[in-house]
A and B are shown apart, each in its own frame.
Chain A
């Protein structure tokens, strides 16, 4: 589904990604781990299409298309979803409005008719129940005045509504207490599907206790230096990152 090949990316004149390669197939859950500054967030931002990153060389192919040639909104409509590390507050833009506009943009792309108000509302209410969110959220501005945990739940709610093919979760566990983490993880797990790929970017192994990955990759110095299964995450939790770096350097 997603194939990143030898990707070199600069930002602000600095090399951030330095020959990163990654293959993700439908139905798989990947975890990308690494110390701060290793390029984890850059990878998800570049895949989602954020401005300000210069792709020097390499390629990102998604469902046989050159993903880097698409505008962020085209990527979203094609089924790429990024759950933000810091979801943005947008006072004055209604949460429901955004959800509906986003869903209809995706449906249009898939050749499906727009949902009417009734169908939309019943869909949203079902998904909100899953995320244990109060319906009053619907009438508020996008993330306006939400706590950190509420913002992360709202991200997964959007993901549940949009049903992407490729979901990127950027540090979704950061700032969550254990109860909120359980709710968010349950939301993500409910979206595990043979037709969907999930890539989690995380600093801590904690999230992986709740969302079990099929593959774990260690990102350091802008490229993946080791890959393994969930046992690798447990080892990283015990031993830190240094031994992997040393092993890679050897």
Chain B
């Protein structure tokens, strides 16, 4: 079988990079594995052939390009790290406060294809340290943007966040790309949460509607630590995020929440795995999907409870809303439980807007498109309450409202 255009382009891009042994190993490993196919159960619902048909280029160094900062969230109090075309931008970033360090460093790869590709091609492998020396009151905002009008460009952000014992931090990761760019974002983020640390992590995926977005997030959560991830997937023609959270210490707690909204022909796939390795830890997961037009949402939520992980309390819920007869939602809970004294609750639903509620609103003079919009936003709003960061909540709600209005216009 001949190599796809994407693989050929990745080979050319890799050839231009400085030779680094670990990167070469990663790239060879990637080539021998290739891209996942539908035969791989983890990729059953997500076809990568559209991605494989493209030839993505690595943009030049950041200094070659004027950054386009138009879509950044510019809260004055937030600490800001901005990556332009995959390169760190000093100009758009703010001075870091005491308690946060930033350095280049190697970040171990898993054996997943896209992780290996990222390790081989990443322009900046960045290690962020967070210490407890100071309670960080304001969020650390990490944004990935493109300079100018990027077309068929790619970026491979690779970021490790290491949070020291007792530290308390809020992280916001934000992916932005232009509407028509057909760019490829392949991100890897790892988070180490040490004993009794507390991390609130928000990922906002707002790539443009013709862009490809692949992301992996791995979190390790130690004794007595709390890790909450809130995930908003709004962008991309094809988006896939793999989240793996491992509870490694007793008394650890993981919360995963997410909102995925697919419209037009968007295909948005989220796969989560919560792995309880030790006894007496808890996890709570809630994802909501909304699919309209010909959009498709895929959610797969796996919970693993290891043999020794007695007294685990793991909850998972997936609730989904179909807005059109041509939209599709696939949701699948998966439990692998090897311990015998555990509490695991899971539930998945796919439904439509409540007819009685629609009639109630209309009987109060509210027209049908507005009533549908209100109920859809209400469905989304309830999951947004899990993260108490007002600027993000408002931004996501506004994005949803805008999409619903655009949708009415196209009917």
Asked if B363 CB lies within 8 Å of chain A CBs, one says: yes
A171 to chain B, nearest CB (A): 16
Known contacts A51-B355, A92-B382; A102/B374 CB under 8 A: no
Pick the interface stretch among B299-307, B328-336, B365-373.
Answer: B365-373
Partner of B360, one of A51, A75, A77, A90: A90
Q: Are A102 and B366 in contact (CB under 8 A)?
A: yes
Q: How far is the CB of B365 from chain A (nearest CB, A)?
A: 3
Q: Number of B interface residues, CB 8 Å?
A: 23
Per-residue CB contact flags for chain A residues 60-72 toward chain B (1 = under 8 Å, else 0) read 0000000000011
Determine the distance from Cα of A106 to Cα of B365 in the docked complex, in whole angstroms: 7
- Cβ contact within 8 Å between A76 and B381: no
- B360 contact set on A, CB distance < 8 A: 84, 87-88, 90, 142
The answer to whether A178 has its CB under 8 Å from any CB of chain B is no
- Any A CB within 8 A of the CB of B375: yes
Tell me if A93 counts as interface (CB < 8 A to partner B).
yes
Contact between chains at A88 and B381 (CB < 8 Å):
no
Taking a contact as CB atoms under 8 Å apart, the answer to whether A73 and B375 are in contact is no
Is B13 an interface residue, CB under 8 A from the partner? no
Question: Does B153 make an interface contact (CB < 8 A)?
Answer: no
A158 at the interface (CB under 8 A from B): yes
**Which residues of chain A have C-beta atoms less than 8 A from B368's C-beta?**
71, 73
A93, B378: Cβ atoms closer than 8 Å: yes
Q: Say if the beta carbon of A233 comes within 8 Å of chain B.
A: no
Do B379 and A92 touch across chains, with their CB atoms under 8 A apart? Answer: yes
Q: Chain A residues with Cβ under 8 A from B354's Cβ?
A: 88
Contacts of B364 in A (CB 8 A): 73, 76, 98, 101-102, 105, 158, 162
Mark out the residues of chain B between 338 and 365 whose CB falls within 8 Å of any chain A CB in the assembled complex. 354-357, 359-365
Take A90-B357, A92-B381 as given contacts and tell me if A82 and B363 are in contact as well, using a CB distance cutoff of 8 Å: yes
Does B89 interact with chain A (Cβ within 8 Å)? no
Q: Does A200 contact B (CB under 8 A)?
A: no
Whether a CB of chain B sits under 8 angstroms from the CB of A48 is yes
Name the contact of A72 in the complex, choosing from B356, B359, B370, B375 (C-beta under 8 A): B359
Instruction: Check if A93 sits within 8 Å of B365, measured CB to CB.
Output: no
Most buried by A among B355, B365, B366: B365
B365 near A91 with CB under 8 A, answer no
Given contacts A51-B355, A72-B359, contact A90 B378 (CB under 8 A): yes
Residues of B within 8 A of A87 (CB): 360
State whether A50 and B359 are in contact (beta carbons under 8 Å apart), knowing that A73-B366, A102-B365, A158-B364 are contacts in the complex.
yes
14 more contacts with CB within 8 A, not counting A93-B374, A98-B361, A101-B366, are A49-B359, A51-B355, A71-B362, A72-B359, A72-B362, A73-B365, A73-B368, A82-B363, A88-B354, A88-B356, A91-B382, A105-B366, A109-B365, A141-B378
In the complex, 7 of the A-B residue pairs with CB atoms within 8 angstroms, ordered by the A residue number, are A73-B366, A73-B367, A73-B371, A84-B360, A92-B378, A101-B370, A162-B365
- The 9 A-B pairs of least Cβ separation, nearest first, read A92-B378, A105-B365, A76-B365, A102-B364, A72-B362, A88-B360, A73-B362, A92-B381, A77-B365
